Every structure is written in structure tokens, then in C-alpha cells.
Amino acid sequence: MDGTKGLLKKTFLPNSLKQDMKSKYKPDQIMMISNAKLEEERSGDFRRIFPSPFFTQQYKHLFDEERASDQLLYDYFFGESKKR
């Protein structure tokens, strides 16, 4: 059993979303998105500042390079139409 399958069963994700994610993303991407969603649930009153539509431009200069994982999470949470 791969780690992604077990993780998806343990999360809050509805079956329809799990199937949709499997058709759009690779297993390691699903794991990353699932972890980010769970992290967001545990965050309480904290807000994500990176990546986010409000702070990405402000903070991306602090990183040496743009990572594919940041772009993946940005696209998933904020939509591909809102590219940085």
C-alpha cells in the first residue's frame, strides 16, 4: 500500500474530491496537498502567508528559487487563473 492511499483514507477529504485529485495529480502531489489541507485545519487563527494571493509577491524575493511545490499549492488553493 502506498502512503498516499492510507493518508487519503484518514483525512476529511470526501470521496468525490479524492477521485478528482487522483485524476489530476501524482501521488506525491496528492500527499503534499493533503498535508497542507490538514495543516490549515490545525492552524487555528493563523493565516497562510506563503503561498497566498496577498503575500506571494511581497515575500517571494526572499527565496533563492521558485519551487514547484509552492506553485502546486498556490494553484490548488487559489486557482491557476491567479498566477503569481
pLDDT score, position 22:
83
Span 34-58, pLDDT tens digits: 888 888 888 888 887 778 888 888 8
Q: For the chain, what is the HEC assignment?
A: CCHHHHHHHHCCCCHHHHHHHHHHCCHHHHHHHHHHHHHHHHCCCCCCCCCCCCCHHHHHHHCCCCCHHHHHHHHHHHCHHHCC
Residue-range domain boundaries for the chain: 1-46, 47-84
Positions in the chain short of pLDDT 50: 1, 7-9, 81-84
